[in-house]
Structure 1
């Protein structure tokens, strides 16, 4: 899903890293999770690591708001992409508990408009859905904000998007507004063809 669109891109980074130490943060799952959250998704207030589990080529990194308020915003799932001890970390999704994005399914072929949905536990939530691609800073589509809440309740929201160039897109659902604009988020990867 991010930061490398293809294995060839990951291998090119490995060559650059071996030649001159280019962008060493790709070797750190915590820094990769924070770069994904703050840089790619644009969630600037989420800047603290709240949990860390690394087992071999698999990592789950909890990210949270910078201050003492609020809990874990998401558990970012990463895997090593490529071979060798310097294979970079790649974000492949989130592990979801009280806020999930299950529609469309991971890796699904999609087109605009796209129906999204999942489950949520919370009070007075407003869910925003964005469609992003690694080659663009701005979202390709944005839909805001469907009211939701309760205990393990389903939610659905349509989002239109345009201009996809990348084969893999990121769908991100977020909620917040109690103490920060984004307090929890969930992501999935979809394909454009």
Structure 2
């Protein structure tokens, strides 16, 4: 059955609908402030790395994907898990999130998405081991990666197949484009067990571990991402044998970053650095 409304009633309904549409158009959400930019180059990283030739394919953010957490907020994001400390390249979750937003908006420094490039940048750029510039092994499982690094040697030279260190990395933050963060090394014939991983940093600091080898010479450096040079060093400790203990004391000054990197290295046979191991200590 058709129902006819009086002309006056139809006019009232039309005016009400037009008014409601105008109000709706004026009530859009306010624009968000642009994310705080991260440094053009991650602390301790060579600027050449920002133009890395190859990067892994990462799904773009699509409608329905949760928006990234604003820089400075750790809400709802398990950064690294309670077992890990952020060594490099980011010192805080806020830094990692700031890079993530810049990557999403303009593809900034895509090498952070490649665990191999991050491991090599850590070794050469941050630790300063320029002769260690080759990937020898790679294991990536979900948000966890182990990257072996080796010396830049010709294939027919002894030591070419040797792994100098196995860098342990994890994704720092949420989402498929969370950057890789170095959290330590996997050690076999050369270890750094003191100070304990994640313990409080104190100067002077006792360091030590175990080593297998012949005529080894151990150097210990204390580094932080905000400094280009070590803030403490101890050299050179003679060592050798089969799983023999070694130890030394290192003093440091100027610690300002929340996490410091303690790195022990040995070499002198075919290269200045032939093996190294790292651990993390906290200043806060």
Tell me which interval the TM-score lies in, with the shorter structure as reference length. Answer: over 0.9
Query: Which ranges of 4 or more aligned residues in structure 1 deviate by more than 2 Å?
Result: none
Structure 2 partner of 1:61: 147
Residue 8 of structure 1 corresponds to: 94
Q: Distance in 2 between matches of 1:105 and 1:64?
A: 26
- Partner residue of 1:72? 163
1:110 to 194, 201, 206: 201
Aligned to 1:164: 255
Please identify the structure whose Cα radius of gyration is greater.
Answer: 2
| Residue-pair matches, total | 193
What is the TM-score when the length of structure 2 is the normalising length? 0.67
Partner of 2:238: 147
For 1:15-34, list aligned pairs within 5 A: 15-34=101-120
Give per-residue Cα distances to partners, 1:2-38, cap 9 Å, x unaligned: 1010011000000011111111000000000000000
User: Runs of 5+ in structure 2 lacking a partner?
Assistant: 1-86
| Counterpart Cα distance in 1 of 2:246 and 2:189 | 12
| More contact order relative to length (CA 8 Å, sep ≥ 6) | 1
Match of 2:185 among 94, 102, 105: 94
- Structure ranking higher in strand proportion: 1
Give the match's secondary structure for 2:164: strand
Specify which of 126, 132, 137 is matched with residue 228 of structure 2: 137
Normalised by the size of structure 1, how large is the TM-score? Answer: 0.99
Give the CA deviation at 1:167: 1.3
Q: 1 CA distance for matches of 2:93 and 2:280?
A: 16
- Does residue 137 of structure 2 align to residue 46 of structure 1? no
Gaps of 5+ in 1: none
Shift of 1:111: 1.1
